[in-house]
Structure 1
């Protein structure tokens, strides 16, 4: 996709967010929100947009990707990210736009949209995650042992026995520990486990290596930001599902993998039941990952459909 602009936007608190735009500057404005939190934008993800029809804006959230920071965790909360999105919209002079995001990107999309519904023309969300502890416990403490018992044993077995009654908090505490000897094995284990849960057919569904000994392996970035957000209930003041009524009447399509173990279909359906104007499109067979071609095709079709609606709204 043709890149139009690339810039760092100072948002205060020691943060500069990296903002890029692509496609047709006269096209339908669309905001793409990456997942994680902490993963950053991958340009390949933007292939779901028709570059001749859309003016696509994507940015690396605070502490992620090419964004700059003095301290990645300082002033890094969901309200900060929502405010950053408004700064970007104003920077580009956009009145209303389509908002597209998946997993954590869907969480942030909903947080932004419920705060600024008048700025939304349409939404396309993939693998809805509402940012609750219940969803994380369901994925790592219920789905994981049910579908990957050996991986669950490896995952929990990394903790001392005293901490196995508080698995998630114990992991996040260690991931955020400043000592590399502490955070290295737990950040890798979290990343690898999450990866298994996100794909239909993982290559190695266990933690078989000595995670402490692999000093040559680059550390994944997302576990640190995820631990920061998840430890703080994603910095949400109120449950998103209780605020989604503010979007009633706005069109939304929820793309959902049938066998998504991280963000299962029940969440998308629960959201749609409270959002008049939204619908769920189930993709099967498919899991969580946007790398699945069937998921990408469904996203492209949904975005095209929403574009037709927006043509009459802009």
Structure 2
């Protein structure tokens, strides 16, 4: 990198212009917030997980003088209710929710921004509603394929993080260890929040330990309530293979969205969603520009990732304005 190159930082913290709960049916109400410029370029931000929820930092990848920034907590997580609910919680339902938010907000087309599971959901949404997308900005591409799930929960990442892996599998009986996702899904079906908390924390700590290159594999997870939603929703979605009709669907049907402009930002040393998926997606999507960040892992907050994402949203703002 040129010595004169200065990495971009997140935009300064901002507060929502408004926030509200939107009923979307099936007993679910979504927390939605709007930030930035009311007449700006609309952008919908899709958080990770499934079950992660939005954070104030997600507002800061966009110039608030140019963007109308719309964020929401997906079903069952964050400030959406009912918290941790798996009922009527599928990828198709989330796509329908995004459309309900778009209609409610009076948006014709918007930029779609998502990382990790948010990238999965962005692609699934664009596959069905490409005509509603101005473009996509994706980070840490995850296609929810069997090979990706096996890497993270069967054989792959455990070779690099044996200490964190041991903490994940230690609570399980020997006969449970052949299928980590199924074992934790069944354990987290325990209706009592307090009784299932150790399993929820064990599940969430595994992922948390591997997200950042600067992370500590033994670091505790601070929020047990958030960990509970994350663990229940991830095991639910991963056991059902993302609720896609077949394995590899998003890549196979890239022609349904690959006419859209896109930017893919991928950490070279991302062990949560390894670069192979981003590379394959870029090969199937000629209008997308892949940026491999050589000193980054999976976390959205790593300096090189922040720089690339902010530059991408600035470039879209210049083009769309």
Is the structural similarity TM-score above 0.5? yes
- 1:223 and 2:231 correspond: yes
Worse-superposed segment, 67-76 or 263-272: 67-76
With the length of structure 1 as denominator, give the TM-score of the two structures. 0.91
- Taking a change above 3 Å as real, the CA distance of residues 25 and 180 of structure 1, as seen in their structure-2 partners, is closer
Provide the rounded CA distance (Å) in 2 between the counterparts of 1:84 and 1:181: 30
3-state SS of paired residue (1:138): helix
3-state SS of paired residue (1:116): helix
Structure 1: 5+ residue runs without aligned partners?
A: none
With the length of structure 2 as denominator, give the TM-score of the two structures. 0.89
CA drift of 1:156 comes to: 2.2
- Taking a change above 3 Å as real, the CA distance of residues 15 and 218 of structure 1, as seen in their structure-2 partners, is closer
1:237 to 229, 240, 245: 245
Map of 1:141 onto structure 2: 154
Provide the rounded CA distance (Å) in 1 between the counterparts of 2:175 and 2:96: 41
Map of 1:256 onto structure 2: 266
Name the count of aligned residue pairs.
Answer: 304
Map of 2:177 onto structure 1: 164
Provide the rounded CA distance (Å) in 2 between the counterparts of 1:206 and 1:133: 27
- Taking a change above 3 Å as real, the CA distance of residues 206 and 44 of structure 1, as seen in their structure-2 partners, is closer
Map of 2:316 onto structure 1: 306
> Is the CA contact (8 Å cut-off) linking 2:29 and 2:81 kept in structure 1?
yes
Give the RMSD, CA atoms, in angstroms.
2.1
Provide the rounded CA distance (Å) in 2 between the counterparts of 1:169 and 1:17: 28
1:20 to 25, 30, 33: 33
Structure 2: 5+ residue runs without aligned partners?
A: 1-13
3-state SS of paired residue (2:59): helix
Counterpart mapping for 1:173-192 below 5 A:
173-179=186-192, 183-192=196-205
CA drift of 1:276 comes to: 2.4
- 1:279 and 2:292 correspond: no
1:77 to 90, 93, 98: 90
Could you list the structure 1 runs, at least 4 aligned residues long, displaced by more than 4 angstroms after superposition: 179-182, 216-219
> Is the CA contact (8 Å cut-off) linking 2:110 and 2:133 kept in structure 1?
yes
3-state SS of paired residue (1:150): helix
